[in-house]
Amino acid sequence: MAISLSLILHLVIIYFLFNKWDEGIKIQKVLPPKYLQAKLVNLDEKIKKKIQPKPKPKPKPKPKPKPKPKPKPKKNNEKKIKHKIIDEQETKILQASKQLELENKKIVSSYSAYIIERIEANWNRPPSSRREMEAKLLIRLVPTGQVISVKLLKTSGNIAFDRSAEQAVYKVGSFDKLQQLDIQTFEKNFRELQLVFKPNDLRL
């Protein structure tokens, strides 16, 4: 009884400690890589005058058309052109970022496939395993690919099954190919990841 209480208390403390710790990392993630900023600098050069942000801050353009009816068409045209250029630039940014996302996804999925292949080659399931079982692990890696921690997030309900999943990761020991990955993609995706062990190749 006392043992389980102290365990629970310890786990609660640890949870809060690690939680706050994580927030710090998340804030770091939002910092942009430098090369994208470079493109935007180009944008500034193209457009000479300062561009007013269009659809969102609506109140501003409204008061202006009132005092001068004649200069209106000119200003509208200018605005339209400016808006068009802005739209094009935005579309380009969006396309570029979507492209990047796609490439990023490809890289992530290819390295994920590598991780899957290594683990599956080392996963030795106990005879008490059943197809419906599912265990979730949280593993932490370093850029060399080495596994530095394995944590059971969700038990399958069968200790031997959970243990076999953990053992599979420990047996791999190090996902060496991750060394070829650029540091940003590594940090974003592979520093810490979840493994869901759910066998669908079992007879029972």
Closest CB to another protein among residues 78, 101: 101
Question: How far apart are CB 194 and another protein at their closest, in Å?
Answer: 4
Which among 120, 152, 114 is positioned nearest to 136, based on CA atoms?
A: 152
Closest CB to another protein among residues 17, 68: 17
Check binding of 171 to another protein (CB under 8 A): yes
Q: Which stretch binds another protein (CB under 8 A): 7-15, 61-69, 71-79, 175-183?
A: 7-15
Closest CB to another protein among residues 115, 145: 115
Q: Enumerate residues 64-123 that contact another protein by CB under 8 A.
A: 90, 93-94, 97, 100-101, 104, 108, 112, 115-116, 119-123
Which among 110, 122, 108, 121 is positioned nearest to 168, based on CA atoms?
A: 122
Check binding of 60 to another protein (CB under 8 A): no
Question: How far apart are CB 128 and another protein at their closest, in Å?
Answer: 3
Q: Enumerate residues 37-56 that contact another protein by CB under 8 A.
A: 37, 40, 53, 56
- Contacting residues for 33 by C-beta, under 8 A, at least 6 apart: 184
Other CB atoms within 10 A of residue 132 CB: 12
- Contacting residues for 46 by C-beta, under 8 A, at least 6 apart: 85, 89
Burial of 48: CB neighbours in 10 Å, binned 0-12, 13-18, 19+: exposed
Say if CB 139 and CB 192 are below 8 A apart: yes
Question: How far apart are CB 54 and another protein at their closest, in Å?
Answer: 10
Give the separation between CA 160 and CA 20, rounded to whole angstroms: 32
Closest CB to another protein among residues 32, 67: 32
Question: How far apart are CB 175 and another protein at their closest, in Å?
Answer: 11
Question: How far apart are CB 73 and another protein at their closest, in Å?
Answer: 26
Say if CB 163 and CB 128 are below 8 A apart: no
Closest CB to another protein among residues 9, 74: 9
Check binding of 184 to another protein (CB under 8 A): no
Q: What is the phi/psi pair of residue 68, to 5°?
A: -120, 100
